[in-house]
Amino acid sequence: MTGVLATFALVMAARKGLPAATAFEVAEAFELQTPQLEAIYELSTKTLRSYTQSKKLLNAAGSEKTLKIIALYQLGVEVSGDAPAFRHWLGKPAHGLAGEVPLPLLETSGGIDLVAEELSRIAYGDLA
């Protein structure tokens, strides 16, 4: 039941919208390059800057993705030991993700879930 409540809370927060500036905070934490940021948000950095300057909120889908990415970052740092180790892991092919590099998977909500599941497997010692 806790998972359902957490999902409900995430959806409700996403529906309210997050400030567009949060996208740049995510980019900074993950050390994303411009094309990576644009692929995740499906918006140009010019548009994101415009939204930020006008204090516009991300839409529900962008907000949901952002909340999931923030939670993923927290999990990744916990599992990896520190942020640099987590960012390094994100850029390497992951065996549990069929050899896919995790970072590009953050472009979709389902991909974020796959990366989070892989981190959970690693946390519990299942490296396969």
pTM beyond 0.95, yes or no? no
The string of pLDDT tens digits covering residues 22-76 is 999 999 999 999 999 999 999 999 999 999 999 999 999 999 999 999 999 999 9
What is the residue extent of each domain of the chain?
2-123
Q: Is the pLDDT of residue 108 over 90?
A: yes
- CA-CA distances (angstroms) from residue 30 to 27, 59, 120? 5, 21, 19
User: Which tokens hold the place of 126?
Assistant: 């299942």
128: pLDDT strictly greater than 60 = no
What pLDDT band is residue 5 in, cutting at 50, 70 and 90? Answer: low
Task: Identify whether the C-beta of residue 7 lies closer than 8 Å to the C-beta of residue 64.
Answer: no
Tell me the three state secondary structure of residue 19.
strand
CB 93 within 8 A of CB 101: yes
